[in-house]
Amino acid sequence: MKETPLSNCERRFLLRAIEEKKRLDGRQTYDYRNIKISFGTDYGCCIVELGKTRVLGQVSCELVSPKLNRATEGILFFNLELSQMAAPAFEPGRQSDLLVKLNRLLERCLRNSKCIDTESLCVVAGEKVWQIRVDLHLLNHDGNIIDAASIAAIVALCHFRRPDVSVQGDEVTLYTLEERDPVPLSIHHMPICVSFAFFQQGTYLLVDPNEREERVMDGLLVIAMNKHREICTIQSSGGIMLLKDQVLRCSKIAGVKVAEITELIQKALANDQKVRKEGGKFGFAESIANQRITAFRMEKAPIDTSDVEEKAEEIISEAEPPSEVVSKPVLWTPGTAQIGEGIENSWGDLEDSEKEDEDEGGSDEAIILDSIKMDTGEVSNIGSQDAPIVLSDSEEEEMIILEPDKNPKKIRTQTISATQVKAPSKKPVKKRKKKRAAN
Amino acid sequence: MKQVLKESLPANGDTSVLAGVYGPAEVKVSKEIFNKATLEVTLRPKIGLPGVAEKSRERLIRNTCEAVVLGALHPRTSITVVLQVVSDAGSLLACCLNAACMALVDAGVPMRALFCGVTCALDSDGTLLLDPTAKQEKEARAVLTFALDSVERKLLMSTTKGLYSDAELQQCLAAAQAASQHVFRFYRESLQRRYSKS
């Protein structure tokens, strides 16, 4: 679906409001929207909501052979998908630019910063390493996808537990989840992206732009930082020219924001761990249950299936047995056989109807007999005339015969076919059969 | 033409699927049908790229939706149903069907009936299990999924895997029909609640 374009008056309104230091949702310049983190039942599954922007993250692992030039390191794979439910414009196959940009930024932020210790993912050097795969799905787009995605990725990685492996000499034992508790990944630090949107050639700046603000912005600056105030990635796009002190100011703001967000993440992780340990219920079904009016839940309902057997037997006894289909193949030539008669070929009617008048006299045997009888009855009275004759009882539309000498020919063929009903009746049928066999 | 996105998140135990519906909206000329709406279903798995299993499930869901949606009221438009698997703990197809139905209702797409999905598993001693978990599905001898309509509990779609006799099929169908009553009651109650507050 095409994206609805932003109207000029809306654009002007947004820019004017930004000039007056006002945002549509009432936030201040440096305010983030509400961040909500919830976890699923499997390890490594989380949903992050940044205002209305929602991202689902899932981490999975697999044992594979390592890359040839990195035999002792595990493999990290990131994949961000813009689901079609996020915005009508995100059709599969139509979002390449934005998708590539976001994926690349995410990779730089998480892989190049070495936040995950890949050496610890090695099981047998040169043969088996863990491949950690992070899948992120954007569920709703209300601006600032990159921040939400980076938070979801790092939270999912912190939440994930991989199966335990032990190596004794040449033997490698992979324990299932029941045998031994799964082991968390070793994470050095948590890089989080913070986005700054610039307006009017860098005069005004907003943190965490929402979807409307993103549409009218001039440029975007993304700084990925961890809570130790180390910059992991920095990217400026949109062609705006920033001064040095603007960038430094932004990095200071980013430091403050990242510290707040990291604290929130750690609280959420600790909370989830507590709930799991205490054996309480966890998962999405729980987290969405009571907070919204539109959520409704039903407990497990036992269903009475005691009368199911009787019902089933009734149905079977009343049902008709399947019709006996006996197929008798007819062999035409070696390599060509025919099973069944098939139905009347209705295509044939269109072509044949013109020839029928001259050759075979009608499509249906029964009707042939009737119409011929009537025709012969009439025609015998008027056969001697030369004027054009209209055969009104013909089954086709009114035929006007232009040349009188064709008449006796017609009558003759019809009368002939009247006597030899059986012979021609085989012909049309056979002709069609052959057509079908050829088709 | 309204472009409305509605979301629903039914969760059968631990299986949850998020559904969104767009439409009736503009359709590409290549996919246009002159006398009814074009229905498109997209199912995204949580891990990895969508593969053949997703394609076959999309087709089943699309066929079910086409049977109930009154496409003739919106010719030359498209109705898109997007499904995202949030967590999978068994009975996934039935959950997808429920999500799709609720999303279509919430979006205001005209339908002739509601539909629901029910999964049945038959284990090796012939015991019938409704709404099996992933473990039960794996150990079962046969797994049958049905889509039933709300008016007369008739069968809209069925897909099965495994070995079973025709008597067992009828039993599972009867059990699914009994189960669908509960699901439809749940639909009705949650819709009442939603529209009474707003």
At A347 the pLDDT is 75
Is there a contact between A1 and B26 if contact means CB atoms under 8 Å apart? yes
User: What would the mean pLDDT of A182-211 be, rounded to a whole number?
Assistant: 92
A72 vs A351 pLDDT, higher one? A72
Contacts of A305 in chain B (CB under 8 A): 128, 130, 174-175, 178
Residues B65 and B100: their CA atoms lie apart, in Å, by 8
Residue with tokens 């787009």: A141
Residues A292 and A180: their CA atoms lie apart, in Å, by 38
Q: What is the ipTM of this complex?
A: 0.88
Contacts of B82 in chain A (CB under 8 A): 83-85
| B182 and A CB contact within 8 Å | yes
- Report the predicted TM-score, pTM, of the whole model to 2 decimal places: 0.76
DSSP-derived secondary structure letter, A3: P
Residue A395 placed within a domain = no
A91 vs A320 pLDDT, higher one? A91
At A385 the pLDDT is 46
Q: Which two tokens stand for residue A174?
A: 């992979």
Residue A310 has pLDDT above 70, yes or no: no
What's the CA angle centered on B136, arms B135 and B140, to 5 degrees? 125
Q: By C-alpha distance, which of A205, A211, A204, A192 is closest to A256?
A: A192
Is there a contact between B84 and A288 if contact means CB atoms under 8 Å apart? no
Residue of chain B minimizing CA distance to A299: B13
* Domain tally, chain B: 1
A424 vs A315 pLDDT, higher one? A315
> What is the phi-psi region of residue A126: left when phi exceeds 0, alpha when psi lies from -120 to 50, beta otherwise?
left
Helix, strand or coil, per DSSP, at residue A221: strand
Residues B42 and B19: their CA atoms lie apart, in Å, by 10
User: What would the mean pLDDT of A383-398 be, rounded to a whole number?
Assistant: 50
Contacts of A138 in chain B (CB under 8 A): none
Residue A98 has pLDDT above 80, yes or no: yes
Q: Are A26 and A32 in contact (CB under 8 A)?
A: no
* Domain tally, chain A: 1
Residue A414 has pLDDT above 60, yes or no: no
Quickly state the pLDDT bin for A239 (edges 50, 70, 90). Answer: confident
User: What would the mean pLDDT of A209-232 be, rounded to a whole number?
Assistant: 93
At A168 the pLDDT is 86
What's the CA angle centered on A249, arms A248 and A253, to 5 degrees? 115
| B129 and A CB contact within 8 Å | no
Is there a contact between B186 and A139 if contact means CB atoms under 8 Å apart? no
Strand A219-225 and strand A231-237: the pairing is antiparallel
Task: Supply φ then ψ for residue A325, to 5 degrees.
Answer: -110, 115
Q: Are B91 and B177 in contact (CB under 8 A)?
A: no
At A417 the pLDDT is 42
What residues 14-43 of chain A have any CB closer than 8 A to a CB of chain B? 40-42
Residue A217 placed within a domain = yes
Helix, strand or coil, per DSSP, at residue A383: coil
Residues A133 and A210: their CA atoms lie apart, in Å, by 29
Is there a contact between B48 and A309 if contact means CB atoms under 8 Å apart? no
Is there a contact between B11 and A84 if contact means CB atoms under 8 Å apart? no
Residue of chain A minimizing CA distance to B79: A1
Quickly state the pLDDT bin for A281 (edges 50, 70, 90). Answer: low
Strand B78-87 and strand B38-44: the pairing is parallel
Nearest-CB residue to A84 (from B9, B80, B175): B80
Q: Which two tokens stand for residue A283?
A: 């998962």
| B134 and A CB contact within 8 Å | no
Residues B14 and A281: their CA atoms lie apart, in Å, by 11
Could you list the residue range(s) of the whole structural domain that residue B136 is in? Answer: 3-196
At A377 the pLDDT is 44
Residue A429 has pLDDT above 50, yes or no: no
At A205 the pLDDT is 92
Q: Which two tokens stand for residue A33?
A: 């929207």
At A436 the pLDDT is 44
Residue with tokens 């029909």: B177
Distances from the Cα of A397 to the Cαs of A197, A353, A354, A393, B132, in angstroms? 77, 11, 12, 9, 65
Name the least confident of A326-340, A410-424, B124-138, B173-187.
Answer: A410-424
Quickly state the pLDDT bin for A235 (edges 50, 70, 90). Answer: very high
Q: Are B12 and A41 in contact (CB under 8 A)?
A: no
| B187 and A CB contact within 8 Å | no
Residue of chain B minimizing CA distance to A321: B166
Quickly state the pLDDT bin for A416 (edges 50, 70, 90). Answer: very low
pLDDT above 70 coverage of chain A, percent? 68
Distances from the Cα of A328 to the Cαs of A162, A237, A333, A345, in angstroms? 61, 74, 15, 21
Quickly state the pLDDT bin for A8 (edges 50, 70, 90). Answer: very high
Using 70 as the pLDDT threshold, list the residues of chain B that sit under it: 1-13, 197-198
Residue A160 placed within a domain = yes
| B175 and A CB contact within 8 Å | yes
* CATH code of the domain in which A122 resides: 3.30.230.70
User: What would the mean pLDDT of A165-172 be, rounded to a whole number?
Assistant: 85
Helix, strand or coil, per DSSP, at residue A242: coil
At B3 the pLDDT is 36
| A135 and B CB contact within 8 Å | yes
* CATH code of the domain in which B171 resides: 3.30.230.70
Quickly state the pLDDT bin for A358 (edges 50, 70, 90). Answer: very low
At A4 the pLDDT is 83
Residue A428 placed within a domain = no
Helix, strand or coil, per DSSP, at residue B96: helix
Residue of chain B minimizing CA distance to A54: B18
Quickly state the pLDDT bin for A343 (edges 50, 70, 90). Answer: confident
User: What would the mean pLDDT of A358-378 be, rounded to a whole number?
Assistant: 43
| B180 and A CB contact within 8 Å | no
The type of residue at A430 is K
Residues B49 and A139: their CA atoms lie apart, in Å, by 16
At A353 the pLDDT is 53
At A426 the pLDDT is 42
What's the CA angle centered on B13, arms B8 and B18, to 5 degrees? 20
Residue of chain B minimizing CA distance to A317: B167
Quickly state the pLDDT bin for A415 (edges 50, 70, 90). Answer: very low
Tally Cβ neighbours within 10 Å of residue A435.
Answer: 13
Residue-averaged pLDDT of chain A = 78
At A362 the pLDDT is 39
Residue A50 has pLDDT above 90, yes or no: yes
Residues A390 and A401: their CA atoms lie apart, in Å, by 7
Could you list the residue range(s) of the whole structural domain that residue A209 is in? Answer: 6-273
